[in-house]
Amino acid sequence: MSAADEILDVVDEHDRVVAQLPRGRVYAENLRHRCVFVRARDAEGRLFVHRRTPTKLVFPSLHDMFVGGVVGAGETYDDAALREAEEELGVSGLPRPEFLFKFLYDGGARGSWWSAVYEVRCELPVNPQVEEVAWHAFLTEEEVEDRLSDWEWVPDGLAAYERLRALRAGG
């Protein structure tokens, strides 16, 4: 099955399921769906940062400081976070990612999606999926901050990062 054929839950502004449709149609019609963002840290606390492949359906070739993706039909955010983190990092046996917060991302003409943000410690050697990740490194928080204005970042990941930074600054 291709990624476009994967069935997703279409949700309303309150994150209630209103339909189940193929991903290709959800994207083509900019229908609201669910996504997970997982901030992966290595044993030293550095963040996994990567550049997406040019073949990605959404935000090709942009940098991202989260791994993650869409939540499948009937899948929980928690299960999707673990599945996506293990798939994109190319590992198995990760601890369950810790839920941090959820927000409704507004992508303008691209639509909107409910976004659940998580964090996980990955002390295993990573072997990222070549279909998803063109380049990767573990960077310190300071190195990520230094690159915010230099690199082109996925806008939903950047929105999640800014919300996380504001949340942590507020207490």
29 is in an annotated binding site: no
Residue 38, helix vs strand vs coil: strand
Q: How many residues does the chain have?
A: 171
**Is there a binding annotation on residue 88?**
yes
Shortest CA distance to 108 belongs to which of 30, 14, 26?
Answer: 30
Reference 85, options 103, 61, 71, 69; nearest CA is 69
Contacts of 120 (CB under 8 A, 6+ apart): 38, 39, 40, 41, 81, 85, 94, 95, 96, 97, 98
Look at residues 52, 167, 27, 41 and name the one whose alpha carbon lies nearest to residue 103. 167
The token pair that represents 18 in the structure block? 């209103």
Chain centroid to CA 113 = 11
Task: Enumerate the known binding-site residues.
Answer: 84, 88
Binding-site positions for Mg(2+) read 84, 88
